[in-house]
Amino acid sequence: MPPEKALQGIRVLDFSRYIAGPYCCMLLADMGAEVIRVEPPRGAEDRNLGPFSPDGQALVYGFILQRNKKNITLNLRDPASSELLQRLIPKADILVHNFPPGTEEAMVLDYNSLTQLNPALIEVIITGFGQYGPYAERTCFDSIAQAMSGAMSYTGFPGSPPTRAGVQYVDFSTGLSAALGTTLALLHRQRSGKGQLVDVSLFDVALSFVAAAGVAAEYKLLEHVRPQVGNNSFYAYANSFRAKDGWVMINVVGNSAWHRFCRALGRDDLASDPRFKDNLSRYLNRDEIHPTVADWVKQKTVEEVTRILEAARVPCGPIRDMVDIYHDPQVTAREMLVEVVQPGTGIVPMPGIAIKLSATPGSIDSPAASPGEHNLEIYHHLLGLSEEQITDYRDRGVI
């Protein structure tokens, strides 16, 4: 038998949309929680966002982020939905949503009201700016949080427009933070028997990353506003360089690595040059180092550069696209791209389980469900509604 998963026996109602909330719930589902995605009867609005499969299905929002989940439909804007919520909430351990304060759905899923039905309920609310503060009712997406957190101001090359990261790191890291908050709340409930509200926002998470990188401390203590430096690193030597057949990224941190790097380049004189005596000096004088490194790299292939520098224990790596990555042996060994058969569509590559647990490992056990696929199972078998009642709710547009 497969090993028991860490969150087995935990039931989650996932009312969230787009990335952060669904990703949080995907992580919980991967680790064994019974996650029930709740959508409007005609499906959630995020199913209209690309990329799309050849048959027109949303790959990210309809398939990848919905794996391992069950699916029911419920129209929260219909007053009759309260009848079903009153039956659902006592059966749940966790409820996740991302409706901003003041919206109709947020009022229906009000934490204080729902805990009257289930005092042990953990409610996780993921929004742009949190449950309080002057921006609380504003809408937000990943790029807005990147912009308002300050991250875009120093991303990009000198003189270029402010630049957002190509990966929606705020969305995904907010989902990850919400999953961590959920497990912390579960630990507290295990000790106390009480649920709580978990309040996570895109802006808070984005700003926490910027501040953790020292950007706020630079400003306050040094009166320094971090500039754009392109692919250079801050406070250590790094940059990307063109080889004969592609690009390579090199990152040298620490004096020992610097000395090994200089030997690999055949330039021991650089190791003793006082201009490059430490990480800060090498960062400040990086433009005097770049031509030497660029000339060394351009005479070699990417494979030659990485082989030489890896032998010298200098961190480096090729800059690749998905064509290069898809069959990478490290990706295969760690099972970080998993091909899942999605009924009606075919094979859909999905991210593997990034957190490797030795005793209670996560896994991908089922493809994404279609809207309402588990209505009978949940409303009839779990809540005890008759099939006639379910048909009546469906005919009235409640489910």
CATH number at 280 reads 3.30.1540.10
Q: Can you give the CATH number for the domain in which 70 is found?
A: 3.40.50.10540
- Same-domain pairing of 349 and 316: no
- Same-domain pairing of 192 and 336: yes
Asked if residue 271 belongs to a domain, the reply is yes
Asked if residue 223 belongs to a domain, the reply is no
- Same-domain pairing of 139 and 189: yes
- Same-domain pairing of 256 and 200: no
- pLDDT of 2 over the 80 cut: no
Mean pLDDT, rounded, for 281-295:
97
pLDDT score for 252 = 98
CA geometry: angle 370, 372, 8, nearest 5 deg: 80
CA distances to 107, 129, 138 from 133, rounded to whole Å, are 18, 8, 10
Beta pairing, strands 11-14 & 94-97: parallel
- pLDDT of 348 over the 80 cut: yes
Asked if residue 229 belongs to a domain, the reply is no
- The number of CA neighbours under 13 Å toward the Cβ of 224 is 11
Provide the residue type at 256 as one letter: S
Beta pairing, strands 337-342 & 316-318: unpaired
- pLDDT of 225 over the 90 cut: yes
- pLDDT of 32 over the 90 cut: yes
- pLDDT of 1 over the 90 cut: no
Cα dihedral 318, 323, 329, 333 in deg (nearest 10): 120
- Same-domain pairing of 74 and 154: yes
Asked if residue 232 belongs to a domain, the reply is no
- Same-domain pairing of 347 and 317: no
Mean pLDDT, rounded, for 327-350:
95
- Same-domain pairing of 318 and 347: no
Last residue of a domain, one of 299, 323, 347: 323
Last residue of a domain, one of 305, 323, 341: 323
| Structural element, H or E, at residue 205 | helix 202-212
Cα dihedral 208, 210, 212, 216 in deg (nearest 10): -110
What is the pLDDT of the chain when averaged over all its residues?
Answer: 96
- pLDDT of 188 over the 80 cut: yes
Instruction: Supply the range of the domain harboring residue 340.
Output: 11-209+332-395
Per the structure, how many domains does the chain have? 2
- Same-domain pairing of 261 and 340: no
CB atoms inside a 10 Å sphere around CB 334: 13
Q: Which residues have a Cβ under 8 Å from the Cβ of 229 and sit 6 or more positions away?
A: 154, 157, 158
Last residue of a domain, one of 267, 294, 323: 323
Bridge partners, 14 (sequence order): 37, 96
pLDDT in tens, 45-102: 999 999 999 999 999 999 999 999 999 999 999 999 999 999 999 999 999 999 999 9
Asked if residue 264 belongs to a domain, the reply is yes
- The Cα–Cα gap between 146 and 174 comes to 12
Asked if residue 376 belongs to a domain, the reply is yes
Asked if residue 221 belongs to a domain, the reply is no
- The Cα–Cα gap between 280 and 45 comes to 49
- Same-domain pairing of 245 and 173: no
Residue whose C-alpha is closest to residue 24's, from 129, 180, 184:
180
What is the sign of the dihedral through the CA atoms of 97, 100, 105 and 110? positive
pLDDT in tens, 166-182: 999 999 999 999 999 99
- pLDDT of 3 over the 80 cut: no
- Same-domain pairing of 249 and 286: yes
Provide the residue type at 105 as one letter: E
- Same-domain pairing of 130 and 246: no
Asked if residue 231 belongs to a domain, the reply is no
- Do residues 371 and 14 make contact, with C-beta atoms less than 8 angstroms apart? no
Contacts for 162-171: CB closer than 8 Å, 24+ residues apart: 168/19, 168/142, 168/143, 169/142, 169/209, 170/142, 170/145, 170/146, 170/202, 170/205, 170/206, 171/18, 171/19, 171/20, 171/23, 171/141, 171/142, 171/202
Mean pLDDT, rounded, for 260-272:
96
- Same-domain pairing of 108 and 188: yes
Q: Which residues have a Cβ under 8 Å from the Cβ of 163 and sit 6 or more positions away?
A: 152, 155, 156
**pLDDT band at residue 307, thresholds of 50, 70 and 90?**
very high
- pLDDT of 13 over the 80 cut: yes
Catalytic residues: 171
pLDDT score for 64 = 98
CA distances to 43, 181, 312, 372 from 71, rounded to whole Å, are 10, 24, 52, 5
**pLDDT band at residue 352, thresholds of 50, 70 and 90?**
very high
342 burial type by CB count under 10 A (0-12 exposed, 13-18 middle, 19+ buried): buried
What is the sign of the dihedral through the CA atoms of 221, 222, 228 and 231? negative
